[in-house]
Amino acid sequence: MKKINIAIDGPAGAGKSTISKLLASQLGYIHIDTGAMYRAVGLKVLRNNISPHDSIKIVEILNSTDIKIKLVDGKQLVFLDDEDVTEEIRQPEVSMYASDVSKIREVRERLVKMQQELAKQKGVIMDGRDIGTHVLPNAELKIFLTATAEERAKRRFLELKQKGYDVDYYQLLDEIKKRDQNDMTREFAPLRIAEDAIVIDSTSLSIEEVLQKVLELFYKVVKDEV
């Protein structure tokens, strides 16, 4: 079967990574969570006590920052300066830092080059906020996965509670709304729906139902490509 590239965009907490991982497992594709790269930069900025709005200092430390994506037993691991930070970058505070540093053009340009290089061989599922519009504009299948802010906050709340974090639902809801605003209004490669993307609202859908919809779209595209 011919391999294609799949771009899955959408706001924070819409289920992009979950669906992408399941899809990659079913299709034997490589999943690349681009948001994890921005989280790694955000984590370094946080650790160095730098304001997430101080673009000059952030660009300076970026020059001495090494971010690697490694696939181990089908799982994506994120390394920051040779340290596995896969779990640490999921903390709520890191999420907000990631949203702020992602506005900086130099940060996005560097990470986008890495992402495009990873996708050259095809058979890649990449999720983020500007994949279909900017990173992989020629992806054969583009999905925009969304859900209400309330539903996304609920999902994130349950996920973090399950991992043992002490979190407040209303604080998460506020952070998600702020992140949406940040992502949609940033100057460079903002969050928006690609003209040829198919929108899936997952608010009232189960993970299995979303996955089935995406698989149906995939097989249609692959059939049309043959």
Asked whether residue 213 is marked as a ligand-binding residue, the answer is no
Asked whether residue 11 is marked as a ligand-binding residue, the answer is yes
Other residues' Cβ atoms within 10 Å of the Cβ of residue 40:
28
Asked whether residue 92 is marked as a ligand-binding residue, the answer is no
Asked whether residue 7 is marked as a ligand-binding residue, the answer is no
Asked whether residue 123 is marked as a ligand-binding residue, the answer is no
Asked whether residue 15 is marked as a ligand-binding residue, the answer is yes
Asked whether residue 10 is marked as a ligand-binding residue, the answer is yes
Asked whether residue 164 is marked as a ligand-binding residue, the answer is no
Asked whether residue 24 is marked as a ligand-binding residue, the answer is no
Q: Binding site for ATP, residues?
A: 10-18
**Binding-site entries:** 10-18
